[in-house]
Amino acid sequence: MSDLIARALPSYGLPPDTPLTLLNRSENETWRAGDLILRLHRHGYHTKAEIASELVWLTALQDLPGLRVVRPVAGKTGPVTEIDGRFIVGFAPIAGQELQPGDDLSRWFGPLGEITARLHLQARGWTLPPGFTRKRWDVDTILGPDPHWGHWLQARGLDEAGGTLLARATGALAAKLTAYGTGPEAFGLIHADLRLANLMVSGDTLTAIDFDDCGFGWWAYDLAAALSFIETDPRLPDLIACWCEGYSRVAPLRAEDRAMIPALIFLRRVLLTAWLATRADSDTAEALGGPAYTSGTLALADRFLTDGLADFRP
């Protein structure tokens, strides 16, 4: 893949001998090329129009008060560079480091709630430009027969008893989400992947990066995504409360949305369980995937059926 990145360098005005460093292999590959960050998209996941739409939204978000997001950098042929049928996009580098599970997360989840509310306010008031297209994150595309990130039945280490439990739990979850609905009061354009690895900390500032999964989903799902891979952390109730308090400082958070937070956390966990199985080549799957993660998902499924994850209710 480094050859594709090297061939893209002239499109960004970079010399052919620019040093290349692979930063991350997850849904896509992220490379540092000199003073630029280049993302090589996974083949066959997003269309060129979808990628261009992500960058259109990012451009609209630049320099809004109280909101820091990654800045896209266009190549000579436009916002999306295509080489041999593969798509590459550029971004300005971000100072700082990724937020880590071992950090004082309660310090940051209030500001993260504020950032999320500002994203949602912009999205609610923004008229989508012609041709704007992004994926939907709803019951069918997460729990249906052909989900975007694969089916939970593919989870590593899932046995027959576990499959029966998850079928019961996801059936109840789907019914709850369907009743919640996808009206504009609950559902709209969201980041959809505000997990710790996509939040850069520098001093007292927090910057949201990697809008690759942005699309149309439940507003409160952005909190569930922020809790990815730390769903069993004992700090979770406190983090949820901090996020809700921060969000409410900027925009109203309806009681109906608060009530759905536990269900959306479980939904995200099921989604990630499937993703880790279908993206076994990713750094994230190597570090966090496997039967142990599936076992944790089953424990959450049992709790969801027992009390609806009551301790996650803000």
Return the CATH number at 78.
Answer: 3.30.200.20
Across the strands, what pairs with 190? Answer: 215
- Is 58 in the same domain as 140? no
Last-in-domain residue among 93, 108, 135: 93
Tell whether the model's pLDDT for residue 41 goes beyond 70: yes
Q: How far is CA 251 from CA 48, 190, 237, 239, 244, in A?
A: 33, 15, 21, 18, 10
Q: Which pLDDT value is given to residue 25? A: 87
Last-in-domain residue among 93, 119, 141: 93
Q: How far is CA 310 from CA 4, 68, 245, 266, 273, in A?
A: 49, 33, 19, 12, 21
Q: How far apart are CA 264 and CA 236, in angstroms?
A: 14
Tell whether the model's pLDDT for residue 2 goes beyond 90: no
Return the CATH number at 112.
Answer: 3.90.1200.10
Question: Shortest CA distance to 184 belongs to which of 151, 149, 219, 213?
Answer: 219
- Is 41 in the same domain as 75? yes
* Residues in the chain, overall count: 314
- Is 79 in the same domain as 152? no
Tell whether the model's pLDDT for residue 264 goes beyond 80: yes
Tell whether the model's pLDDT for residue 298 goes beyond 90: yes
- Is 19 in the same domain as 141? no
pLDDT band at 269 (very low <50, low <70, confident <90, very high): very high
- Is 230 in the same domain as 304? yes
* Residue 166: domain span: 98-312
Q: How far is CA 156 from CA 8, 81, 187, 192, 300, in A?
A: 36, 36, 31, 24, 16
- Is 134 in the same domain as 192? yes
- Is 141 in the same domain as 259? yes
pLDDT band at 26 (very low <50, low <70, confident <90, very high): confident
Structural domain tally of the chain? Answer: 2
Question: Shortest CA distance to 263 belongs to which of 291, 232, 223?
Answer: 223
- Is 84 in the same domain as 179? no
- Is 141 in the same domain as 244? yes
- Is 68 in the same domain as 116? no
- Is 183 in the same domain as 115? yes
Q: Which pLDDT value is given to residue 301? A: 98
Q: Which pLDDT value is given to residue 1? A: 61
**What digits encode the pLDDT tens for the residues 74-124?**
999 999 999 999 999 999 999 999 999 999 999 999 999 999 999 999 999
Last-in-domain residue among 93, 111, 133: 93
Q: Which pLDDT value is given to residue 69? A: 98
Q: Which of 150-154, 163-167, 206-210 has the lowest mean pLDDT?
A: 150-154
- Is 20 in the same domain as 63? yes
